Amino acid sequence: MTRHTVKTEEDILKAFEGESRAKWTYKAFADKAEQEGNHEVAKLFRAAAASEEIHANSLLRALQEMSRATNELWVSGMYDPKMVKDTTAENLREAIGENSELSQLYPGMIQDAEKDGWSFARECFTYAGAVDKVYDSLFKNALQNLGEKKSVDYFVCESCGNTIDHKPADSCNVCGSAESAFKMVQ
Task: Give me the DSSP letters along 50-74.
Answer: HHHHHHHHHHHHHHHHTT---TTHH
65/94 Cα distance (integer angstroms): 33
Task: Determine which residue in the list 89, 152, 177, 183 makes contact with Fe ion, applying CB under 5 A.
Answer: 177
111/123 Cα distance (integer angstroms): 11
Instruction: Decide: is 174 part of the binding site for Fe ion (CB under 5 A).
Output: yes
Contact 48, 163 (CB under 8 A): yes
Q: Which amino acid is at 148?
A: E
Instruction: Decide: is 54 part of the binding site for Fe ion (CB under 5 A).
Output: no
Contact 154, 163 (CB under 8 A): yes
Task: Determine which residue in the list 160, 164, 168, 185 makes contact with Fe ion, applying CB under 5 A.
Answer: 160
Instruction: Decide: is 57 part of the binding site for Fe ion (CB under 5 A).
Output: no
Q: Tell me how many residues contact Fe ion (CB under 5 A).
A: 8
Question: Binders of Fe ion among 130-159, rule CB under 5 A?
Answer: 157, 159
Instruction: Decide: is 124 part of the binding site for Fe ion (CB under 5 A).
Output: no
Instruction: Decide: is 172 part of the binding site for Fe ion (CB under 5 A).
Output: yes
Task: Determine which residue in the list 48, 162, 163, 164 makes contact with Fe ion, applying CB under 5 A.
Answer: 162
**What residues form DSSP beta bridges with 163?**
156
Dihedrals phi, psi of 155, to nearest 5 degrees: -120, 125
Q: Give the shortest CB-161-to-Fe ion separation in angstroms.
A: 7
Q: Give the footprint of Fe ion on this chain (CB under 5 A).
A: 157, 159-160, 162, 172, 174-175, 177
